[in-house]
Structures are given as C-alpha cells and as structure tokens.
C-alpha cells in the first residue's frame, strides 16, 4: 500500500465524489481546471497516473516525467494518443462494459421517440389537445417487425441486439468479427445493412476504417422511412451528407448523441432541420454508469500505484515485468507477463 500523498493523480474532469475521496486516501488528486492542451501538458508533468474524460493532446506523453499509467474513465480510446503511449511504454486501461446498459437504453428510447412521437406532458395537462393528439396515434409505428442494423457489434451492439430481438425486431449486423457474431444477428455487408435496415445504430469505435463510414451512398440507399442513431463518434458519419439526406427526405430522422465538434458550436446543424434530435454525448451517462466508470477507474489507478498488479483491463499487452522495473525501481510487478506487441 503506497504512503498517503506519495503519488499524484491527474483527472481531466471530475469523477464521482465518493470515488475521488477514495483515491485521495492514497494520492494527491488534481482536477484540471480546464481541458485545453496547454493546461493538460503542464499538469501531466507531475502526475503519476492520469484518469481521462477529455481529449488529450497528441503530444501529451512528451510532457510527462513519471507517468505510470493512464485509465480511460469509460470505454472509447479515441481520446488517448495510443501510438504515443506505446512509444513511451505507458500502460493504458479502460473500463469495458461500464456504460453498456446506459447506451442500449438510450438507443431504445431514441427509437421509441422517433417511432411514437407523442408530447405526453401536453396531453396530460391540456384537455383541449386530447382528441387531435389522440388522432396522431394512427400514424405511429411499433418497433416489432422492423429490421435493426447495428454497425459495430461489440458489447453495446450485442446487448442492443438482445433487447431488439425481445421486442420482435430482426437484427442484422456489420462487424470485423464476421464469424463470431452472437446468435440472432445476421451478418450484412455495409450497403446491404443500410438498404435493408429500418433503423441503423452506429456503435462502432472510431478509427481509420470507420471515419466517414456512413456517407451519401449509404444514406441514399436507405428507406425513406429509415432512422439513423449515432452513439459511436461524430466523424463516423459524414455530417454534411446526413443533413442533405434529412433535407431531401432520403431518410426520415436522425438521433445524434455524438458530434464532429464537442461541445457543439452554433451553426454546425441547420436550425430549421426537422426530424433531427441532438443530445450532448449523454448516452453512456447515468447515475449507475457513472459509478461503474469512476469506481473502475480508481481501482485500476490503485493497481498501478501499488505496484502489485497491472490493470485488469490493460489495452497494450506488451507490458512486462522487466519494463515495469525500468519505469520505477520501487515498482515490483508480480503479475503475469504479456507477449502481444503494442500496435
């Protein structure tokens, strides 16, 4: 057990208060006052560990002097320059599955929002709207019988498929692991998925292969009643092409929780655009998921600082006993060695 205040842990943003307090029992905890590149570069110089909730500058690891590891407060790694972490031999961990339920519930809620557009509050509180609003129900649709296309069938996509199947939907999926899709999901190439799906959910990671994955050709191939839901990352969609598709009636609606630029700046989306639903990257955030993310992040940081074991959810598998000893002469790693190279 390290001595109290022996280490310093930098948080790019606040985490759950009770977990931050638990971390303070073992280390000095610094929360970045801002997440701009210069502030993070300055603060990381004196950090032994880093918990990430905001995008790191690409050269962040050039400015550290004793960093033992980085933990993503969540799952997606696009906020961390992984290539530089490998070069500097800095372990990186994330918290898989921590927000799966939250994102899946968001997706189901988004589907229902679009398919059954009812202003419940107005109906409840305004008797004069009763009959006109009730008449709108004739045009509302169910999810049962629709085809759901999932792009990226990882933890979120797999769980979403189970819920969708329970609701009577057919599920098709696009994944790198074509041969290992879960039961109940039929593999579909990209163009087939977009053309056949009534609802397309993007839940894939952001990488060189997925940037601009959904573009003009994909939207043009969709049903005019089709719905696009993006809980992946903004650049997975060509936003201009999506706006054109909505404007021209190529698709019926889009629900975007992630965006090319975050926070969203004025003018990115047409103010008059109908059937466009925007949320501020909240799909994975609930009271329960925040607890899982914060608790998991602190657990992983303490493993790093205590020098007993490497993080359970280590991303790079090239961290070995000899490397650990090089990083810090007091770091005595006694866990298993990993032999897969960092890529």
Picking from 14, 52, 55, the residue whose alpha carbon sits closest to that of residue 233 is 55
Q: Is residue 215 part of a domain?
A: yes
* Same domain as 29, residue 46: yes
Number of domains in the chain: 2
Measured CA to CA, the distance from residue 73 to residue 173 in angstroms comes to 27
Q: Is residue 142 part of a domain?
A: yes
* Same domain as 302, residue 248: no
Q: Is residue 341 part of a domain?
A: no
**Is 13 in contact with 35 (CB distance < 8 Å)?**
yes
**Torsion angles phi and psi, residue 111, rounded to 5:** -60, -45
Q: Is residue 253 part of a domain?
A: yes
Packed helices 287-306 and 100-115: angle between N→C axes, nearest 10 degrees: 160
In which order are the strands placed within the sheet that holds 49-52? 27-31, 7-11, 49-52, 69-72, 92-93
- Model pLDDT for residues 140-193, shown as the tens digit of each residue: 889 999 999 999 999 999 999 999 999 999 999 999 888 789 989 999 999 999
DSSP 3-state helix, strand, coil percentages of the chain (rounded to 5)?
35, 15, 50
Token code pair at residue 169: 């939907």
Give the residue with greater pLDDT, 65 vs 4: 65
* Same domain as 241, residue 117: yes
Contacting residues for 3 by C-beta, under 8 A, at least 6 apart: none
- Model pLDDT for residues 251-278, shown as the tens digit of each residue: 999 999 999 999 998 888 998 898 999 9
Q: Is residue 335 part of a domain?
A: no
Residues 233-257 have a mean pLDDT of: 97
Q: Is residue 2 part of a domain?
A: no
Question: Quick one: which H or E segment has residue 8?
Answer: strand 7-11
This model's pTM is above 0.95: no
* Same domain as 259, residue 193: yes
Domain end (from 220, 246, 278) = 278
Q: Is residue 338 part of a domain?
A: no
Residue 4 has pLDDT above 60, yes or no: no
Can you give the residue range of the structural domain that contains 301? Answer: 7-97+287-327
Indicate left, alpha or beta for 120 from its phi (over 0: left) and psi (-120 to 50: alpha). Answer: alpha
Among the residue ranges 85-99, 131-145, 176-190, 227-241, the one predicted with the least confidence is 131-145
**Is 294 in contact with 98 (CB distance < 8 Å)?**
no
Give the residue with greater pLDDT, 200 vs 342: 200
In terms of Cβ atoms closer than 10 Å to its own Cβ (0-12, 13-18, 19+), residue 162 is middle
- Provide the pLDDT confidence category of residue 333 given band limits of 50, 70 and 90: very low
- Provide the pLDDT confidence category of residue 342 given band limits of 50, 70 and 90: very low
- Model pLDDT for residues 42-58, shown as the tens digit of each residue: 999 999 999 999 999 99
* Same domain as 295, residue 269: no
* Same domain as 69, residue 140: no
* Same domain as 197, residue 293: no
Write down the pLDDT at residue 341. Answer: 32
- Provide the pLDDT confidence category of residue 280 given band limits of 50, 70 and 90: very high
Q: Is residue 163 part of a domain?
A: yes
Q: Give the β-pairing of 227-230 and 69-72.
A: unpaired
* Same domain as 323, residue 260: no
Verify cis geometry, omega within 30 degrees of 0, for the bond prior to 263.
yes
Residue 258: which CATH number? Answer: 3.40.50.720
- Provide the pLDDT confidence category of residue 328 given band limits of 50, 70 and 90: very low
Residue 331 has pLDDT above 50, yes or no: no
Give the residue with greater pLDDT, 164 vs 126: 164
- Provide the pLDDT confidence category of residue 123 given band limits of 50, 70 and 90: low
Residue 338 has pLDDT above 70, yes or no: no
Across the chain, what does the average pLDDT equal?
87
* Same domain as 210, residue 86: no
């Amino acid at each position: 057990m390290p001595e109290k205040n022996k280490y310093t842990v930098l948080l790019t943003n606040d985490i759950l208060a009770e977990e931050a307090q638990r971390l303070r029992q073992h280390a000095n905890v610094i929360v970045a006052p801002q997440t701009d590149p210069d502030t993070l570069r300055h603060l990381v110089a004196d950090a032994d560990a880093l918990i990430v909730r905001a995008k790191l500058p690409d050269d962040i690891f050039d400015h550290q002097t004793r960093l033992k590891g980085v933990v993503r407060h969540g799952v997606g790694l696009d906020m961390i320059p992984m290539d530089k972490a490998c070069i500097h031999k800095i372990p990186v961990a994330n918290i898989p599955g921590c927000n799966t339920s939250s994102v899946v519930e968001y997706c189901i809620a988004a589907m229902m929002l679009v398919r059954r557009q009812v202003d419940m509050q107005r109906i409840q509180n305004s008797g004069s709207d009763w009959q006109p609003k009730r008449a709108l129900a004739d045009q509302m649709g169910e999810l049962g019988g629709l085809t759901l296309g999932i792009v990226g069938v990882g933890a979120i996509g797999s769980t979403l498929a189970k819920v969708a199947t329970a609701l009577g939907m057919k599920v098709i999926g696009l994944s790198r692991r074509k041969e290992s899709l879960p039961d109940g999901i039929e593999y579909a190439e990209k163009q087939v998925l977009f053309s056949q799906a009534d609802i397309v959910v993007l839940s894939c990671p952001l990488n060189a292969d997925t940037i601009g994955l959904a573009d003009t050709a994909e939207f043009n191939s969709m049903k005019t009643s089709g719905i696009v839901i993006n809980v992946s990352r903004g650049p997975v969609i060509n936003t201009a092409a999506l706006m054109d598709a909505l404007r021209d009636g190529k698709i019926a609606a889009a629900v975007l929780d992630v965006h090319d630029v975050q926070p969203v700046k004025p003018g990115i989306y047409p103010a008059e655009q109908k059937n466009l639903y925007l949320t501020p990257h909240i799909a994975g955030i609930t009271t329960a998921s925040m607890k899982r993310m914060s608790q998991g992040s602190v657990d992983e940081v303490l493993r790093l600082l205590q020098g007993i074991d490497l993080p359970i959810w280590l991303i790079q598998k090239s961290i070995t006993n000899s490397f650990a000893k090089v990083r810090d002469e007091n770091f005595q790693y006694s866990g298993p060695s990993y032999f897969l190279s960092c890529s």
